[in-house]
Structures are given as structure tokens and as C-alpha cells.
Amino acid sequence: MSAGAPPRLWPRLGLALLVTLAVVPFLPKWAAFLVTLALAKGLVALGLLLLMRTGLVSFGQGLYYGIGAYAAGMGASALELGDAVPLVLLGATAAGLVALLLGLLLARYRTIFFAMLSLAFSMIFYGLLVKTSALGSTDGFNVAARSTFGLPTTSPVGRFGVYGLGALVVFVGAASLDRYLRSHLGRLAPAIRDNELRVEYMGASVRNVVHLHLVLAAVLAGAGGALTALAVGHVDPETTYWTTSGEFVFVAILSGTGSVAAPFVGALLLELLRSFAYEHAPNTWQLVVGASMLAVILFLPEGLWSVFRRRRRAA
């Protein structure tokens, strides 16, 4: 942190968006799928970045991820929405509304109590899904969008619709959050993490800011869940299970909170690691993932992103 405001990130994010879209036609299907999943899960980790900057770690983001996925799925089947765009909006909105409600309680808690209460809500939702046969219980149900931005999924371009939509949502989400974090309101995140009492004594309501950040993080997670549902073509209760939530925390810590781009780098790495480890070491892949986490915590306590920053400083 030094003199002058750090450079705005959106031009570089925009470039990343263009590159991501440009490489689509050349990617094999499995790679496009892998990148889409990384973008979707990176969105959830991006929400966690906001919470972590506010001093909070949620072990229950799977709740909003699952709500986003199921809302998109039900939008496609029950509401007969055929296009991916409104389905993602629906997922994000549903998750945001749930956070608006739960935030009334959650925004009062901090540290391990906050983490455990978030976990509890996600487990309750998991329990409900498993018991709801109309939603397929443990099997879940299939989801399919007929088009993206009106381009049918059967057309040459529309085939990659969800991939492109994911890249666009990530661009809008990351650029907006970057801008927000530089605003007067966004600056309260580190202030709250450092000293809540002082923030109150400056005339602001800490609880309201925390509540807002819970909703913003949920909206991002909901969009991520909806994108995953559309990419996979299926939703099931696993999306809200605690191991899924744990994976998001994993990605957020692996990436670090230094930049809004970090969660996507971290998510992509995890997806790559997982798919290669699955293939070459199907029985020990958790071991590989665990060992890499350990290495990051020991050698890069500020996350993978600090590698980029260190190199820039050296240059």
C-alpha cells in the first residue's frame, strides 16, 4: 500500500474477458467445461473475499451456491424460462433475498460463531433438499437452458453460451466489486475488520455494512451456483453440502484477498489440479490438494496472488 490510488482493474479485467471469449472456439469441450466451473466457483470465492476483507469467514456459502443452482433449475422447469441469462439472474436474486433475511441474524455474529451459524443454515437447507422428493431428493434433477442471449444451444456459437455468459458475469462481478472496494462504503470493510468500535464511533452502523456484504457475497454465490447448474446440466443437494462450502473457503484462502482477480486464478488452479489428480491419482487426489494447501499456507501466507505482487515489486 503506497502513495496514490492503486490503478483501476477493469481495463485488465476487460482484456481478460476478451481473451476468454476469443479462445472459446479453440478449446476442447472438456476444457471449456472446466473453465466454466472455475469461473462459477471463483464467483463464490469472490464473495468470500469481500467477507474476509470485512473480517468474516463463512463456512456456509454452499447455501447460496445451492440456492442459485436450484433457483435456476426450477426456473427452467417450473417457470419454463428457456434462456440462460434470466436463469442466472434468478439464481443470484434468490440467493440475495435469502441472505437479506438470514442476515438479520447472521450480521450480529462474528468469528467462529458467524462461521458455525453460516454452516448451520447450509446444513438445514441440505437436510430439506434431501427430504424433498419433488426436487429429486438426493438425486436432484436435470437442468437445461435452450438458449443464451437468444442464441440456441444447438447453434455453433450458442454451444458455448454458458461459457461466455460465465465470463461476462465474472467480468461484471469482479469489476463492480473492485470499484466498490475503492468507494467510501467499501473502505469500511477493512475498517470493520480492524476496529468495529471505532467505525461505530465514526457514525456508521457496522451491522448494516456487514448485512450488505452478506447479501453481496450471496448474490455472487447464487450467480455461481446458477452457472454451475447450467454448465453441468444437473443440480443435487451436494451443492449445499459442507464439503462444497469448505472447498470455497479453500479457494479463497489459496487465492488470497489481494485482488478481485485472485479467486479466479485460485479456482482455475484447483479445477486443473483436481482433474489431473483424478486421472493420474484417483485415490490420493485429496492428498495432493491438501498438500498444496499446506504449501501455500506455509510459504505464501497471503495466498497465491502474492506471487504476482512480489514479482511486480521486484520488477
Q: How far apart are CA 153 and CA 155, in angstroms?
A: 6
Q: How far apart are CA 155 and CA 161, in angstroms?
A: 10
Q: Considering only 36-44, 84-92, 192-200, 230-238, which stretch makes contact with other proteins by CB under 8 A?
A: 192-200
Q: Which of 110, 193, 274, 309 binds other proteins (CB under 8 A)?
A: 193
Task: Return the axis-axis angle of helices 62-77 and 84-106, rounded to nearest 10°.
Answer: 140
CB of 7 to other proteins, least distance (A): 16
Q: How far apart are CA 150 and CA 155, in angstroms?
A: 11
CB of 297 to other proteins, least distance (A): 20
Instruction: Please compute Rg for the chain using Cα positions.
Output: 19
Q: Which of 21, 85, 204, 307 binds other proteins (CB under 8 A)?
A: 204
Q: Which of 136, 152, 190, 246 binds other proteins (CB under 8 A)?
A: 190
Kindly report the length of the chain: 315
Q: Which of 201, 282, 311, 315 binds other proteins (CB under 8 A)?
A: 201
179 or 193: CB nearest other proteins: 193
CB of 12 to other proteins, least distance (A): 23
AA letter at 6 = P
Are 123 and 135 spatial neighbours (Cβ–Cβ below 8 Å)? no
Q: Which of 30, 203, 299, 312 binds other proteins (CB under 8 A)?
A: 203
Q: Which of 87, 90, 168, 188 binds other proteins (CB under 8 A)?
A: 188
7 or 203: CB nearest other proteins: 203
255, three cell numbers: 487465492
Q: Which residue has the cell 457514525?
A: 203
Are 14 and 171 spatial neighbours (Cβ–Cβ below 8 Å)? yes
59, three cell numbers: 463456512
202 near other proteins, judged by CB under 8 A: yes
Q: Which of 22, 78, 134, 197 binds other proteins (CB under 8 A)?
A: 197
AA letter at 38 = A
Which residues contribute to the site for other proteins (CB under 8 A)?
1-3, 183-185, 187-188, 190-191, 193-195, 197-205
